[in-house]
Amino acid sequence: MTGVLAMLATVVALVPEPCEQAWREGVYSVDAEPGALRACNVAVSAEHVKFVHDAAIPPEGYRIDVSADGIAVASSDDAGAFYAMMTLKQAATVIGDRKNGFRLSIPCGTVIDAPAFRWRGFMLDEGRHFFGKEVVKHLLELIAEHKLNVFHWHLTEDQGWRLAIDRFPELVKYGSVRPRSVAHGSRGLAEFGDCVFNTEPYGPYFYTADDVREILAFAKARHIAVVPEIEMPGHIRALLAAHPEFSCKGDLSRVPHTYWTIEEDVLCAGNDDAIRFMEQVLDEVCELFPGAYVHIGGDECPKKRWRECPKCQARIKALGLKDEDALQAWVTRHFTDYLAKKGRRAIGWDEVFAGSPGKETIIQCWHIQHGNKFGLLAAEAGYPVIVSDMKRTYFSLPQGVQDDPFTYLSPDGRCSLETAYSFDPMSGMTDAAAPHVLGAECCMWSECTWNIYDLDFKLWPRVCAFAETMWAAPKVPRDFADFVRRMTIHRRRLIAAGVNCAPLE
Ligand code: ACM
Ligand code: ZN
């Protein structure tokens, strides 16, 4: 017994680390199939776990008491009970064989836990590469196990429009297919001279309304809120392939962009029909996604076309705007107000902050020049802030581990596991700013990510580090060496679950 106990104590390597944990002599042990671990959820576990309501436990928090006689879970909400099950799933081991049967064992002990941040997000770009709903479900399952609770779904880009809009079928007809793509393993940046194209049509790839409903139900069962992102007024070339009439030039080719630069063709902000069109797209997005938030992008909108466009210049004049930046601020304000009237909160990348949008707008900060300046300024101005520090939470960056097939891909530096673990959304925040920080998101941009193997390799184990900084960061002193110790065990769980997890170093 002592040997088994010692082994169990070693395998209780929880990620993210809970706020408090104390393990004791003894185990709760039941006959179980090996698959019981994967099926470990609140519904199927009711026979082993006694769930109780305790209003004193913070939102999403829980208390677990495991004794040899049974398991008690207390929480003040369903999410807390769910996260308790995710913790038990990591704490459990299944030992045995087919002949003698299997036993699921959980060491006796107590865990008391609650998250540090309420917005613990993961963003997936499906514009550059499309992964499909089985991959999305695989990722949702995994992020839920790491107690993340927001899936930010980047569905539209210069290179692909991935959401069927009933009213405008041409969006996916033209916008979801491109005649060629950057070949697997090529960086795709022409200016670096190493862009290799294939000649395969890519697509049509998009989600239907039924797909969206399926993903939403899957996410809801795992306490994940889904935030769709419909980019505007830039990063919109795939939309303009379907509707060139809404560009400033009006005569664009009907194909999305095929490699990874920021397109100069953007939405014509001077064209009332283009504005009305985007409103109608948002109407349908709001019907499909009943959640509270809609992301409207706003990053990296070149102003060249607006400077040359008579309609855009006429709008600037009519509204008495100073320049093209002010025109983007007007576009942002128009759509954040439009969404607010529909009862939705708009989120925008930090570029939208420059235009002073309505105070209900959530600012997602990705630039980190001058420290977390945009995040700090936005939070001090009273905007709710989500931090996505591009050096520490962009897992599209190479991680620099052994055998990293992506080491050569980025001129922008790396994000090692230790760098990811060093992320702190409160870094540089003043007392005035701190209460406005909702949390953070890690981001998976998919230019150099072609399939689930590439995706998993880039995401894991860095998402584990991110999840830990989101869950318990301010409460426990950070100890990277201890995180790595737990990760050597946890990584084996990920690999057993079929995840192409990168090495730890
Ligand atoms: C971004 O990385 N362009 C938000
Ligand atoms: Zn224009």
Residue range 9-31, pLDDT digits in tens: 455 899 999 999 999 999 988 88
Q: Which amino acid is at 121?
A: G
CA of 299 to the centre of ligand 1 (A): 6
Contact of 63 with 110, CB cutoff 8 Å: yes
Give the pLDDT confidence of 396-435 residue by residue, as tens digits: 998 887 777 776 666 667 899 999 999 999 988 999 999 9
Please give the Cα distance from 485 to 490 (Å, whole number).
9
What atom of ligand 1 comes closest to residue 297's alpha carbon? Answer: 4
What atom of ligand 1 comes closest to residue 443's alpha carbon? Answer: 2
Q: What is the pLDDT of residue 263?
A: 93
Is residue 6 scored above 50 in pLDDT? no
Q: What is the pLDDT of residue 193?
A: 62
pTM above 0.75? yes
CA of 9 to the centre of ligand 2 (A): 64
Ligand with an atom nearest the CA of residue 397: 1
Mean of the pLDDT values across residues 228-241? 98
Nearest in space to 409 (alpha carbons), one of 189, 149, 237: 189
Contact of 241 with 252, CB cutoff 8 Å: yes
* Ligand 1, CB cutoff 6 Å, lining residues: 299-300, 349, 366
Q: What is the pLDDT of residue 409?
A: 66
φ, ψ at 281 (rounded to 5°): -60, -45
Q: Which amino acid is at 153?
A: W
Ligand 1, atom 2: nearest CA belongs to which residue?
Answer: 366
Contact of 299 with 349, CB cutoff 8 Å: yes
Instruction: Please report, for residues 117, 382, 385, 393, 468, the alpha-carbon distance to residue 424 in angstroms, rounded to integers and kept in the order given.
Output: 11, 20, 13, 10, 10
Is residue 41 scored above 80 in pLDDT? no
Helices (H), 235-323: 237-242, 272-288, 304-308, 310-319
Percent of the chain with pLDDT over 70: 90
CA of 50 to the centre of ligand 1 (A): 45
Nearest in space to 259 (alpha carbons), one of 443, 405, 127: 127
Q: What is the pLDDT of residue 1?
A: 40
CA of 445 to the centre of ligand 1 (A): 8
- Best mutation site among 154, 299, 301 for ligand 1, i.e. most ligand atoms within 8 A of its Cβ? 299
Q: What is the pLDDT of residue 93?
A: 83
Ligand 1, atom 3: nearest CA belongs to which residue?
Answer: 299
Helices (H), 309-412: 310-319, 324-341, 373-380
Mean of the pLDDT values across residues 223-231? 98
Q: What is the pLDDT of residue 403?
A: 74
Strand 62-67 vs strand 70-75: parallel, antiparallel, or unpaired? antiparallel
Q: What is the pLDDT of residue 401?
A: 79
- What's the chain's average pLDDT? 91
pLDDT category at 186 given cuts 50, 70, 90 is confident
- Best mutation site among 300, 386, 389, 444 for ligand 1, i.e. most ligand atoms within 8 A of its Cβ? 300
Flag the least confident range among 174-188, 260-274, 334-348: 174-188
Q: What is the pLDDT of residue 260?
A: 85
Choice between 102 and 128, residue whose per-residue pLDDT is larger? 128
